């Protein structure tokens, strides 16, 4: 099946957003937790958290300030801090519900079964039970002009991981944590396991193919 | 298990890159195909392709110009075009080998079992058999100062998908395509299926929890 750019542009709206949201491949499934100046907590599902580098430990994510979840953006700029929590099997349905648009100033922790918890002096809420929880410090932001989205750059301040997913070499086995990956806008997949490879060195060139 | 930022900074190098590369959650598994001015094709594994928006259909990815794969960056700037191809079960091992650092000016298509193919007038190579192949147009780039990486912004010009993964509503079922997700630096996971949810509307607030 072949779609040209013109054909993509002319697709019916729901079909287009389903197609274009699933064509980038699997996406990370995270809940981002924040708190407002007034003390109202917020937690929202994001599928764009990306590794930018290990030294300093840096993650980025994309938000669209003109639509939901604008609370996340406002709270991050105000407080300078937020949390990233992996979505796992037991909380998928509640995590997905955080994408609903409420008019009222409510916390998603009050309208779902998600529970907040707090570690050390971090004022932003973590999601209880999540096998990977991170306290993030806001570093900088980039406005992506061609598409009118914001790229948030942040560093890990504290990392909390469940023992049973941590290997001796530092690898976090997400399958052991029943961590979800997002496919498109509304589908969540959980892998049973994975295949690890070695660090790749060049082949001798006379053994090509 | 709790790691503070100081503890992360002081981890042994391999342990640190394993830990920080796996803590963002599952990542997309893509091969990016390019061609040089001299006509040498290049294909390299990337795990940072992210959806930025559907209108225009925009994807971003991160590269580190000071290390491998610098050929990808040079070729994209020269030609303005590249391809994104999903990694699937049959090609995982060869796809991962494209991360090896060759000193010679060789094409990864010559040293692996990956095969190039061409669609319409796109000069960049696609990866044969991949269930999702996209011809991308380079739009703009952002230098992320705090971390010295480049964020490449691109738009979909042509999209090629296998019929058997395309649902009527535009959703691409990546599980049906045996598409891989990347966990950390070197682990590939394939999900058997997924759970889809409806578009989320607010609950009535008197039914909270």
Nearest to A100 among B15, B97, B200 (CB): B200
Q: How far away is chain A from the Cα of B180, in angstroms, using its nearest Cα?
A: 8
> Is 80 exceeded by the pLDDT of residue B2?
yes
Q: How confident is the model over A151-209, as pLDDT tens digits?
A: 999 999 999 999 999 999 999 999 999 999 999 999 999 999 999 998 788 887 665 44
Q: What is the pLDDT of residue A9?
A: 97
Are B1 and A140 in contact (CB < 8 Å)? Answer: no
The C-alpha of A114 sits at a distance from chain B's nearest C-alpha, in angstroms, of 9
Q: Is the pTM of this model over 0.90?
A: yes
pLDDT at A104: 77
Q: What is the mean pLDDT of chain B?
A: 93
Q: How many residues does chain B have?
A: 209
**Closest chain A residue to the Cα of B2, Cα to Cα:** A160
The residue that leads in pLDDT, A99 or B9, is B9
Residue of B nearest to A105 (CA): B205
Could you identify the residue written with the tokens 């929880």? Answer: A133
Q: What is the DSSP letter of B141?
A: E
Do B27 and A30 count as a contact with CB atoms less than 8 A apart?
A: no
Mean per-residue pLDDT of chain A:
93
Task: Say which of A101, A147, A156 has its CB closest to residue B8.
Answer: A156
Please report the pLDDT score of residue A206 as a whole number.
Answer: 61
Selected for mutation to probe chain B from A24, A111, A115 (highest B CB count within 10 Å) is A24
| CA closest to B48 among chain A residues | A50
CA distance A10 to chain B (A): 10
Identify the band that residue B209 occupies on the pLDDT scale cut at 50, 70 and 90.
very low
pLDDT tens digits for B131-155?
Answer: 999 999 999 999 999 999 999 999 9
Domains of chain B: 28-188 (2.30.110.10)
Contact (CB, 8 A) for B117 and B144: no
Q: Residue ranges of chain A with pLDDT lower than 70?
A: 66-69, 205-209
Do A144 and B158 count as a contact with CB atoms less than 8 A apart? no
Taking CB atoms and an 8 Å cutoff, what residues of chain B touch A1? 160-163, 166
Residues 6+ away with beta carbon under 8 Å from A195: B92, B187, B188, B189
Give the closest-approach CA distance of A124 to chain B in angstroms.
Answer: 16
Distance from CA of A37 to the nearest CA of B (A): 23
For testing contact with chain B, the best of A26, A162, A209 (most B CBs within 10 A): A26
Tell me A113's DSSP state. Answer: S
* Number of Cβ atoms within 10 Å of the Cβ of A67: 8
Model pLDDT, residue A207: 52
This complex has an ipTM of 0.93
B34 within 8 A of B71, measured Cβ to Cβ: yes
Taking one residue from A and the other from B, the number of pairs with CB-CB distance under 8 angstroms is 362
CA atoms within 13 A on the CB side of A38: 7
Residue carrying the six token digits 């889809």:
B196
Q: What was the pLDDT predicted at A101?
A: 83
pLDDT value at residue B206: 61
User: Which spans in A31-152 are helix H?
Assistant: 70-79, 92-97, 108-111
Band (pLDDT 50/70/90 cuts) for residue B110 is: very high
Q: Which residue of B has its CA nearest to A115?
A: B209
CB contact under 8 Å between A57 and B5, yes or no, is yes
In the block, which residue shows the tokens 């966990």?
B183
Burial B99-111 (b: 16+ CB within 10 A, else e): beebeeeebbbeb
Alpha helices by DSSP H, A10-85: 13-22, 70-79
Query: Quick check: B23 and A200 CB within 8 A?
Result: no
């Amino acid at each position: 099946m072949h779609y040209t750019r013109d054909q993509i542009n002319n697709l019916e709206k729901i079909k287009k957003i389903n197609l274009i949201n699933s064509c980038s491949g699997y996406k990370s499934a995270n809940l981002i937790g924040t708190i407002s100046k007034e003390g109202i907590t917020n937690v929202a599902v994001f599928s764009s958290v990306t590794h930018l580098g290990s030294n300093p430990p840096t993650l980025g994510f994309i938000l669209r300030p003109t639509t939901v979840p604008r609370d996340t953006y406002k709270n991050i700029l105000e407080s300078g801090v937020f949390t990233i929590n992996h979505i796992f099997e037991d909380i998928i349905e509640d995590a997905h519900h955080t994408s609903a648009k409420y008019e009222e100033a409510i916390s998603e922790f009050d309208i779902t079964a998600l529970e907040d918890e707090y570690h050390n002096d971090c004022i932003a809420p973590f999601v209880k039970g999540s096998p990977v929880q991170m306290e993030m410090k806001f570093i900088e932001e980039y406005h992506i002009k061609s598409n009118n989205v914001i790229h948030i750059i942040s560093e890990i301040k504290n990392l909390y991981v469940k023992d049973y997913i941590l290997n001796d070499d530092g690898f976090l086995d997400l399958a052991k944590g029943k961590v979800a990956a997002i496919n498109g806008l509304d589908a969540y997949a959980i892998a049973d396991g994975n295949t690890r490879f070695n660090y790749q060195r060049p082949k001798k060139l006379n053994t090509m193919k």
